[in-house]
């Protein structure tokens, strides 16, 4: 390996590294504003100046390739003088309004000016004034603070794949702006706030809410989709003020989607804080004793075969496990987690995981989407696909039309007949897959909802296995699930099957074979009430709460501890950040109360017992945050029936995909603006 001498210390570095990266390996801290390890190099700010042997002037370390034998100094008098000069120029036009800036306490310019700044300025001219720009309901701008680092421009172009930001003018007159004054349409737009090293771009919903040192910070995970993005929940008292990303290179890197970041204001609205009972057609306030008594009396009067339970997309594994144990104790096997009937196979864990892993996409040299729209179904997964396209020119193909994915792709079919040709080696795509070293095939839930769903899943799996693309080194078979609870529910077998009938629950539901329906956080189930007695348990008074006969308040995902399993099969922990509001009770405690009244015994003595019982039922798990052990040799296959039909890609109402998002004013604003922009494009 090549070697470089930094401050008289010799270290080894990898080819392709910059001087700045080599300095960091040596433990030398280099100030920077424009440089970011996940963005292209701009070399704008010049704050990273260092001294190089045989160079008459300091060099920008972020843009200088490291070479073997190079000698670098980072702490000389020349370097310090140069950096102080750069800082003086950066502060010439800066308003110095730190006391009223939302970036205060988290500002790179503020931090570095403490060391490299002056107590006064030699410039007496008037400061530059730049008009604030409109960037939508998420990003608040004060462009006079901008130091032209261009991080936001590079992120929008390179990572988000929506080149909506640019620069006009030159030198002091340069301005960062949208090409047309409109809202940024990327689902990743909020990340430019984290990237901005000054207070030019700040969070509009969070503006003037709190100072960073006032907030309680809790490391947790996101449940808005199945990706399991690592997040930090910042709360003040019982209110969640903001959600920020945590670094995890294997999942979300250091980005999160706008829904993850901004839907948190929905945690404060439309909340259920006390029990309700429907009387004379209206839900009226009640108490726990009365609702427990009413539910238990209904259970005792109902045939167990006509009792059913359903969990929503944001339920933890503890909730699902305790709910299943409660339903089983009543004598019913009618329980389900799917919101719509799509084919599942729980025989082996490989059948329902994203087996290539999110990070594995960067190693892929071929990608085929089948009935999937990763941009709206799993935003951070889509960002990883784009990253692979930008860096490796990843070729992307699709069966079905997913719309704009922020990267180019080719539609190679729209029907099940096209999939049949791939499976039977009668397609060009079959040849492309076989010639690839690390292909990735992603099957979406939309493709599994049709009659040929079983044929698609089992056929593609068999095709990849025959061509040795399912092995211990590489697994090309992937299912793209949409909800945070799906994989956990699969592991816990929370679904009903009879004689290989995958959809028995939905068939019974359609035939009105249930007299009592218990819904836990379930707001997306398509169901019209007639004579059924409906119990709704959840955090928000959303769709199903409005038709329920009894409403039980339970905490949101930020208000109770919970295990989740992301689409890769990683076991993750959501950590309690705030206290539940009102008289709400944790889900498992509610089931305990009901079971004690009906069966005269508790399901679990405490949370520790529940946690141990839940983790013992997880399949092939190693430990937290690690990929599960997947059997790739003794793969089982089932035969599926082929029906000639179109592969749908059902549109997701991205900003209103769950109860918390629908309660969010910010998500409502985003949805409205997105709709207006779409209509404007249609009308020209």
What tens digit of pLDDT does each residue of 567-589 get? 999 999 999 999 999 999 999 99
**For position 173, what pLDDT does the model report?**
85
**For position 683, what pLDDT does the model report?**
58
pLDDT above 90 (res 65): yes
Q: 540-549 long-range contacts, Cβ below 8 Å, gap at least 24? A: 540/266, 540/270, 540/271, 540/272, 540/659, 540/660, 540/662, 540/663, 541/270, 541/271, 541/272, 542/270, 542/659, 542/662, 542/663, 543/659, 544/519, 545/272, 548/276, 548/278, 548/283, 548/519, 549/277, 549/278
**For position 83, what pLDDT does the model report?**
94
**For position 184, what pLDDT does the model report?**
85
Q: What is the dihedral of CA 477, 482, 487, 489, to 10 degrees?
A: -140
pLDDT above 70 (res 679): no
pTM higher than 0.85: yes
Greater model confidence, 651 or 577:
577
| Token couple for 522 | 């379930």
Q: What is the dihedral of CA 585, 586, 592, 598, to 10 degrees?
A: 50
8 A C-beta contact, residue 228 and residue 316:
no
Greater model confidence, 94 or 172:
94
8 A C-beta contact, residue 554 and residue 590:
yes
How many Å is the Cα radius of gyration of the chain?
28
pLDDT above 90 (res 427): yes
Interval 605-615 mean pLDDT = 94
pLDDT above 60 (res 602): yes
pLDDT band at 634 (very low <50, low <70, confident <90, very high): confident
pLDDT band at 632 (very low <50, low <70, confident <90, very high): confident
- Residues 300-340 pLDDT 10s: 999 999 999 999 999 999 999 999 999 999 999 999 999 99
**For position 680, what pLDDT does the model report?**
63
pLDDT band at 681 (very low <50, low <70, confident <90, very high): low
Interval 442-447 mean pLDDT = 96
Interval 267-289 mean pLDDT = 94
- Residues 203-231 pLDDT 10s: 999 999 999 999 999 999 999 999 999 99
Residue 142: phi and psi, rounded to 5, are -145, 85
pLDDT above 80 (res 110): yes
**For position 528, what pLDDT does the model report?**
87
Interval 255-280 mean pLDDT = 95
**For position 163, what pLDDT does the model report?**
87
Interval 388-401 mean pLDDT = 95
**For position 684, what pLDDT does the model report?**
55
CA distance 274 to 291: 11
Interval 537-552 mean pLDDT = 93
Residue in 41, 162, 155 with CA at minimum distance from that of residue 407: 162
Residue in 372, 335, 357 with CA at minimum distance from that of residue 525: 335
**Across the chain, what does the average pLDDT equal?**
93
**For position 128, what pLDDT does the model report?**
87
């Amino acid at each position: 390996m090549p070697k470089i001498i930094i401050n008289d210390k010799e270290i080894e570095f990898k080819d392709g590294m910059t001087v700045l990266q080599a300095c960091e390996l040596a433990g030398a801290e280099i100030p920077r504003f424009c440089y970011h390890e996940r963005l292209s190099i701009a070399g704008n700010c010049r704050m990273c100046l260092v001294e190089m042997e045989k160079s008459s002037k300091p060099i920008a370390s972020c843009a200088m390739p490291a070479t073997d034998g190079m000698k670098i100094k980072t702490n000389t008098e020349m370097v310090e003088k140069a950096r102080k000069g750069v800082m003086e120029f950066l502060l010439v036009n800066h308003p110095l309004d730190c006391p009223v800036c939302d970036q205060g306490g988290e500002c790179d310019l503020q931090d570095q000016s403490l060391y490299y700044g002056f107590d006064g300025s030699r410039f007496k001219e008037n400061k530059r004034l730049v008009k604030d720009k409109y960037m939508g309901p998420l990003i608040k701008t004060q462009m006079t603070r901008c130091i032209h680092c261009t991080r936001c421009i590079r992120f929008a172009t390179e990572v988000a794949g929506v080149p909506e930001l640019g620069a006009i003018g030159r030198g002091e007159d340069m301005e960062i702006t949208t090409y047309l004054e409109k809202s940024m349409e990327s689902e990743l737009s909020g990340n430019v706030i984290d990237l901005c090293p000054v207070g030019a771009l700040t969070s509009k919903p969070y503006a003037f809410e709190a100072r960073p040192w006032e907030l309680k910070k809790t490391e947790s995970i996101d449940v808005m989709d199945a990706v399991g993005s690592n997040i930090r929940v910042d709360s003040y008292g019982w209110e969640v003020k903001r959600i920020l990303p945590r670094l995890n290179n294997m999942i979300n890197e250091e980005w999160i989607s706008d829904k993850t970041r901004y839907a948190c204001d929905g945690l404060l609205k439309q909340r259920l804080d006390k029990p309700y009972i429907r009387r004379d057609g209206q839900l009226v306030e009640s108490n726990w004793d009365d609702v427990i008594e009413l539910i238990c009396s209904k259970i005792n009067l109902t045939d167990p075969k006509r009792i059913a339970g359903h969990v929503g997309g944001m339920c933890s594994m503890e909730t699902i496990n305790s709910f299943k144990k409660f339903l089983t104790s009543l004598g019913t096997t009618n329980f389900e987690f799917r919101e719509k009937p799509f084919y599942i196979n729980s025989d082996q864990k490989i059948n329902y995981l994203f087996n290539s892993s999110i990070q594995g996409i960067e190693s892929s040299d071929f990608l085929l989407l089948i009935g999937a729209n990763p941009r709206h179904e799993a935003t951070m997964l889509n960002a990883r696909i784009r990253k692979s396209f930008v860096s490796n020119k990843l070729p992307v193909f699709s069966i079905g039309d997913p719309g704009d994915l922020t990267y180019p792709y080719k539609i190679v079919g729209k029907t099940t007949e096209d999939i049949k040709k791939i499976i039977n080696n009668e397609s060009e795509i079959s040849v492309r897959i076989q010639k690839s070293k690390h292909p990735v095939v992603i099957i979406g839930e939309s493709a599994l909802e049709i009659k040929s769903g079983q044929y698609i899943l089992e056929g593609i799996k068999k095709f990849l296995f025959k061509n040795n693309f399912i092995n211990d080194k590489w697994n090309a078979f992937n299912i793209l699930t949409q909800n945070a609870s799906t994989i956990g529910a699969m592991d816990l077998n929370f679904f009903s099957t009879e004689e290989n009938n995958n959809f028995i629950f939905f068939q019974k539901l359609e035939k009105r074979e249930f007299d009592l329906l218990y819904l836990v956080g379930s707001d997306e189930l398509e169901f019209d009430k007639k004579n059924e007695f409906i119990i709704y348990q959840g955090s928000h008074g959303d769709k199903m709460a409005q038709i329920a006969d009894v409403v039980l308040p339970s905490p949101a995902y930020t208000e109770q501890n919970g295990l989740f399993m992301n689409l890769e099969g990683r076991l993750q922990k959501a950590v309690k950040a705030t206290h539940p509001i009102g008289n709400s009770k944790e889900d498992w405690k509610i089931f305990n109360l009901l079971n004690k009244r009906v069966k005269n015994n508790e399901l679990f003595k405490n949370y520790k017992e529940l946690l141990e019982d839940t983790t013992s039922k997880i399949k092939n798990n190693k430990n937290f945050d690690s990929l599960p052990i997947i059997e790739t040799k003794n793969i089982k296959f089932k035969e599926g029936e082929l029906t000639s039909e179109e592969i749908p890609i059902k549109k997701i109402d991205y900003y209103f995909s769950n109860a918390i998002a629908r309660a969010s004013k910010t998500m409502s604003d985003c949805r409205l603006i997105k709709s207006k922009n779409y209509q404007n494009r249609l009308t020209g």
